[in-house]
Structure 1
Amino acid sequence: MVKAKYQDVLDLGQELNIQNGDVTEENGVLKVKGTANTQYEKNQLWDKIKEIGGEAPSDIEADIDVADNSVYHRHTVKSGESLSKIAKHYYKDPMKYKEIFEANTHILKNPDVIHPDQELIIPNL
């Protein structure tokens, strides 16, 4: 059963609070629809699909929209984080911290000073 194979994708969709979710199975193909909050969340779903089914799986069709295309993601700062750690997480490049700082100058005055519970915009690059 294809649904069981991709259960981790469905679980991630619930965890990410994907809206307007719909899952059907037709002729051995799992059809998944929904709306992710941000492009980052959509990418997480696709990464999970590829992890399970390979680069071009033929047993799943995913139609995932994005609710907010104005940002890549919104990140709530946790204790011990820095802009470079956050940049490495989202962009795989700690030097992209400058882009995150520039997108958040309305709340940040110094790229070396961030506080837990601040919500940062992670910009589209």
Structure 2
Amino acid sequence: MGLLSFIKGAGEKIFGASEAQAATADDLKKEVEKHGFSTEGLDIQVDGDKVTVKGNAATTEDAEKIALALGNTIGVAAVESEIAVETPSEEARFYTVQKGDTLWKVAEEQYGAGKGAKYTEIFEANKPLLSHPDKIYPGQVLRIPALV
């Protein structure tokens, strides 16, 4: 998956993090676990505002969601994902939420005019990182899956 960029002033506020620097590796592991993902075998390293994560994940989707859980936190500007995937699949695209966006608007922009109702695909692709379709914020990075 490689390097993902984030807005380091946007995201979940984790103890010890600031806009200048990400939280500690242990606190970031807790953030990943909070979303229901195992951190067993994950190696998370923090260097200022860049986080590198290595290890294994069952699916491409899980690997992407782990990277998003790390990156959508205050103080993280980039996540270098070196997660090996046991069952690879097509990688999703990523979208950074802008002021005034809704999932409907994002779906229209990403999938084409008249496809706003496909916002549910985006919502489902970002669970459990999203708890409700109306709870997105500027600077947040979302997975945009291919339509099937």
TM-score by length of 2: 0.37
| Bigger RCO (CA 8 Å, 6+ sep) | 2
TM-score (norm 1): 0.43
Of Structure 1 and Structure 2, which has the larger fraction of its residues in helix? 1
